Structure formats: C-alpha cells, structure tokens
C-alpha cells in the first residue's frame, strides 16, 4: 500500500508525566471547538445537578453513577475538541474529571487551564500568519496593478 505523509502540524503533549495528547495547537477548528467546550461542560454539569436532585441525599451509589456519567460525557466532549484518537481516560490516567483536587478545583478545570495558553498561543500564531499572508497577497496585487499601467 502506498503512503502519503505530510506535515499536518500535530504536536504531542505529555500530560502529567504519562498521558499523551496529540493535536495541532494552531488549527483554528480546534480552537473554535475549545472555545465552545465551556458551554458543553456547563450543560453536562446542569444535567447532572438536576439528576442529582432526584436522588435521595443518602444515595451514594446513585451519586457516583452520575459522576461517572458526567466523566464519560466530558471525555467524549474533549475527544470531539482535540480529535477522536485522543483517549482522555488514558490521558488522565483513569481519573474522573469531576473530582475535586487539592487546589479546590475540578480536574477538568485544571486541565482546561493548562491547555488554554497553548491554544491561545496557537490561535495567535495562526491569526498572525493569516494576516501576514493577506498583506503579502495585497502587496503582490498592488505590484501587478502597477506593472499593468
């Protein structure tokens, strides 16, 4: 079988020393999906809160099932953002993303906080490149118009 290989900008990031996350931080599609992830996470959290209210206060098993369901949905959402080849259960070592950590934040909050500067830097680089290309094209067009006179 023949192969086609080209640079697609994919980079690999080691997460907490073990998990590997692969995506192109300069891909505007990834950045756009990343910007929408907060709304999707709020929807998941709201649904879990509503379902949690229906449970009795002492239904620990039911609460744990809801947290597991939210974790699964969040990991699916992250795979949608960063690509289906990224297994977020493996990337975070099986940790439930709804777990509250030592800093008082959920694992998902800490993960998104760590990814934000990487994606913002990639989006900025992409935008600057697009602007640079547009300027070069305008200069070329101007030079061609002048040459025609």
The string over 46-58, giving b where at least 16 C-beta atoms fall within 10 Å of a residue's C-beta and e elsewhere, is eebeeeeeeeeee
Residue-averaged pLDDT of the chain: 89
Q: Is-contact 53 116, C-beta < 8 A?
A: no
pLDDT for 23: 97
Is the confidence at residue 31, as pLDDT, over 80? yes
Q: Averaged over 23-39, what is the pLDDT?
A: 94
Is the confidence at residue 147, as pLDDT, over 80? no
> What's phi and psi for 100, nearest 5 deg?
-85, 135
Is the confidence at residue 36, as pLDDT, over 90? yes
Report the C-alpha gap between 139 and 46 in whole angstroms. 51
Token readout for 140 is: 């070329």
What is the DSSP code string of 24-90?
Answer: -TT-HHHHHHHHHHHHHHHHHHHHHHHHHHHS-TT-HHHHHHHHHHHHHHHHHHHHHHH-TT--HHH
Per-residue pLDDT tens for 40-69? Answer: 999 999 999 899 888 877 888 999 999 999
């Amino acid at each position: 079988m023949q192969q086609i290989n080209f640079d697609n900008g994919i980079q690999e990031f080691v997460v907490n020393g073990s998990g590997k996350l692969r995506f192109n931080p300069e891909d505007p599609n990834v950045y756009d999906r990343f910007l929408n992830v907060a709304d999707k996470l709020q929807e998941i959290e709201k649904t879990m809160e509503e379902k949690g209210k229906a449970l009795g206060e002492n239904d620990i098993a039911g609460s744990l099932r809801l947290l597991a369901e939210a974790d699964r949905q969040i990991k699916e959402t992250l795979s949608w953002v960063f690509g289906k080849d990224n297994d977020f259960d493996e990337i975070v070592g099986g940790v439930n993303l709804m777990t509250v950590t030592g800093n008082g934040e959920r694992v998902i909050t800490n993960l998104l906080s760590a990814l934000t500067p990487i994606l913002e830097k990639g989006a900025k680089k992409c935008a600057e490149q697009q602007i640079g290309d547009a300027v070069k094209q305008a200069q070329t067009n101007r030079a061609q118009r002048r040459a025609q006179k």
